[in-house]
Amino acid sequence: QKEVEQNSGPLSVPEGAIASLNCTYSDRVSQSFFWYRQYSGKSPELIMSIYSNGDKEDGRFTAQLNKASQYVSLLIRDSQPSDSATYLCAVKASGNTPLVFGKGTRLSVIA
């Protein structure tokens, strides 16, 4: 059973701080990694994808991947109240396999 684990939270951070969201996965052959943001009552929105070890930056978001440790994280710099949402980590092995989602971490940014 391929698993993706996330701390359910809530993770509370003050406005302007860095929020750090973490995800571990069990399938060693996983190749593609994604972060989705889901606001309450809405559908998931893709915010980051990462395929290689290391960091990938996009605006205030940085995704970090360590395949040896089977660990992927998302950093949100200068957190804003509008970043308050549930963040879902998703992992995919080879081409003909489905995405496997974690249950998400609820982030609350306090003004």
Partner 1 sequence: KAGVTQTPRYLIKTRGQQVTLSCSPISGHRSVSWYQQTPGQGLQFLFEYFSETQRNKGNFPGRFSGRQFSNSRSEMNVSTLELGDSALYLCASSLDAGWNEQFFGPGTRLTVL
- Residues forming contacts to partner 1 in the complex (CB under 8 A) are 32, 34, 36, 42-46, 49, 51, 88, 92, 94-104
Tokens describing residue 47: 């915010």
**Cβ-contact 88, 9 below 8 angstroms:** no
The nearest distance, CB 18 to partner 1, in angstroms, is: 26
| Residue of 12, 11, 16, 10 lying closest to 79 (CA atoms) | 16
Residue 76 or residue 89: which is nearer to partner 1 going by CB? 89
**Cβ-contact 109, 11 below 8 angstroms:** no
Residue 17 or residue 67: which is nearer to partner 1 going by CB? 67
**44 prior amide bond cis, ω within 30:** no
The nearest distance, CB 4 to partner 1, in angstroms, is: 9
The nearest distance, CB 103 to partner 1, in angstroms, is: 4
The nearest distance, CB 109 to partner 1, in angstroms, is: 22
Residue 82 or residue 94: which is nearer to partner 1 going by CB? 94
**Cβ-contact 105, 21 below 8 angstroms:** yes
